[in-house]
Amino acid sequence: MVRALVLLLTHLAAAPVVSERVEIGERNRIDLGTFECRDITRSTVLQRVCYDRARQDLVVVAGGAYDRYCRVTAETVDRLLGAPSMGQFFNRNLRRETAGSRYDCHA
Protein backbone atom coordinates (compact mmCIF):
# COMPACT_ATOMS: atom_id res chain seq x y z
CA MET A 1 0.00 0.00 0.00
CA VAL A 2 2.80 2.42 0.93
CA ARG A 3 4.69 1.46 -2.23
CA ALA A 4 1.67 2.20 -4.39
CA LEU A 5 1.21 5.58 -2.71
CA VAL A 6 4.89 6.48 -3.19
CA LEU A 7 4.70 5.41 -6.85
CA LEU A 8 1.57 7.50 -7.39
CA LEU A 9 3.09 10.58 -5.74
CA THR A 10 6.28 10.18 -7.76
CA HIS A 11 4.25 9.94 -10.95
CA LEU A 12 2.21 13.04 -10.08
CA ALA A 13 5.32 15.04 -9.19
CA ALA A 14 6.85 14.22 -12.57
CA ALA A 15 3.73 15.21 -14.52
CA PRO A 16 3.94 18.59 -16.24
CA VAL A 17 1.80 21.43 -14.89
CA VAL A 18 -0.54 22.62 -17.60
CA SER A 19 -2.39 25.91 -17.32
CA GLU A 20 -5.96 26.14 -18.44
CA ARG A 21 -6.46 28.28 -21.54
CA VAL A 22 -9.90 29.47 -22.59
CA GLU A 23 -11.36 31.17 -25.65
CA ILE A 24 -12.77 34.63 -25.08
CA GLY A 25 -14.63 35.98 -28.05
CA GLU A 26 -13.72 34.80 -31.50
CA ARG A 27 -9.94 35.14 -31.50
CA ASN A 28 -8.72 35.77 -27.97
CA ARG A 29 -7.24 33.10 -25.74
CA ILE A 30 -6.40 33.70 -22.12
CA ASP A 31 -4.33 31.61 -19.74
CA LEU A 32 -6.09 31.19 -16.39
CA GLY A 33 -2.87 30.14 -14.64
CA THR A 34 -2.80 33.29 -12.48
CA PHE A 35 -6.55 33.37 -11.86
CA GLU A 36 -8.47 32.02 -8.88
CA CYS A 37 -11.51 30.26 -10.35
CA ARG A 38 -14.75 29.21 -8.70
CA ASP A 39 -17.50 27.12 -10.20
CA ILE A 40 -20.83 28.77 -9.43
CA THR A 41 -23.80 26.57 -8.55
CA ARG A 42 -26.21 29.08 -7.03
CA SER A 43 -26.77 31.25 -10.11
CA THR A 44 -28.75 30.65 -13.27
CA VAL A 45 -26.74 33.36 -15.06
CA LEU A 46 -23.14 32.66 -14.03
CA GLN A 47 -21.48 29.26 -14.20
CA ARG A 48 -17.89 30.22 -13.33
CA VAL A 49 -15.99 33.22 -12.00
CA CYS A 50 -12.19 33.59 -12.33
CA TYR A 51 -10.28 36.56 -10.92
CA ASP A 52 -6.67 37.72 -11.04
CA ARG A 53 -6.28 40.19 -8.13
CA ALA A 54 -2.87 41.48 -9.22
CA ARG A 55 -4.09 42.45 -12.70
CA GLN A 56 -7.72 43.16 -11.70
CA ASP A 57 -8.89 40.86 -14.50
CA LEU A 58 -12.25 39.11 -14.20
CA VAL A 59 -13.29 36.24 -16.44
CA VAL A 60 -16.82 34.91 -16.17
CA VAL A 61 -18.80 32.18 -17.85
CA ALA A 62 -22.34 33.34 -18.52
CA GLY A 63 -24.59 31.40 -20.83
CA GLY A 64 -21.76 28.96 -21.53
CA ALA A 65 -19.43 31.62 -23.02
CA TYR A 66 -16.30 33.11 -21.44
CA ASP A 67 -16.02 36.89 -21.25
CA ARG A 68 -13.31 39.12 -19.79
CA TYR A 69 -13.67 42.31 -17.78
CA CYS A 70 -10.67 44.54 -16.97
CA ARG A 71 -9.94 46.94 -14.12
CA VAL A 72 -12.45 45.22 -11.82
CA THR A 73 -11.58 45.83 -8.17
CA ALA A 74 -11.38 43.00 -5.65
CA GLU A 75 -14.18 44.72 -3.72
CA THR A 76 -16.48 44.49 -6.75
CA VAL A 77 -15.69 40.79 -7.18
CA ASP A 78 -16.33 40.16 -3.47
CA ARG A 79 -19.67 41.97 -3.78
CA LEU A 80 -20.53 39.85 -6.84
CA LEU A 81 -19.72 36.59 -5.05
CA GLY A 82 -21.66 37.64 -1.93
CA ALA A 83 -24.69 39.11 -3.69
CA PRO A 84 -28.09 37.55 -2.92
CA SER A 85 -28.58 37.33 -6.70
CA MET A 86 -25.26 37.05 -8.51
CA GLY A 87 -27.00 37.30 -11.88
CA GLN A 88 -28.74 40.56 -11.01
CA PHE A 89 -25.52 42.04 -9.61
CA PHE A 90 -23.60 40.97 -12.71
CA ASN A 91 -26.20 42.33 -15.13
CA ARG A 92 -26.53 45.66 -13.31
CA ASN A 93 -22.90 46.33 -12.46
CA LEU A 94 -20.58 44.46 -14.82
CA ARG A 95 -22.11 43.23 -18.05
CA ARG A 96 -21.32 45.59 -20.88
CA GLU A 97 -23.68 46.36 -23.67
CA THR A 98 -21.27 48.25 -25.94
CA ALA A 99 -17.57 48.52 -26.63
CA GLY A 100 -15.83 51.21 -24.61
CA SER A 101 -17.86 50.64 -21.47
CA ARG A 102 -16.39 50.80 -17.95
CA TYR A 103 -14.82 47.32 -17.80
CA ASP A 104 -14.00 46.95 -21.49
CA CYS A 105 -10.50 45.51 -21.82
CA HIS A 106 -9.81 47.51 -24.97
CA ALA A 107 -10.84 50.93 -23.59
Confidence of residue 95 (pLDDT cuts 50, 70, 90): confident
Q: How many CA atoms lie within 13 Å of 11's alpha carbon, on the beta-carbon side?
A: 6
Mean pLDDT score, 58-85? 94
From 10-14, 17-21, 34-38, 73-77, the region with the lowest mean pLDDT: 10-14
Mean pLDDT score, 3-25? 62
Predicted model pTM:
0.77
Return the pLDDT at 28. Answer: 82
Return the pLDDT at 25. Answer: 72
User: Which residues fall within 8 angstroms of residue 59, CB to CB, at 6 or more apart?
Assistant: 22, 24, 30, 32, 35, 37, 49, 50, 51, 66, 67, 68, 69
By the 8 A CB rule, do 49 and 41 touch? no
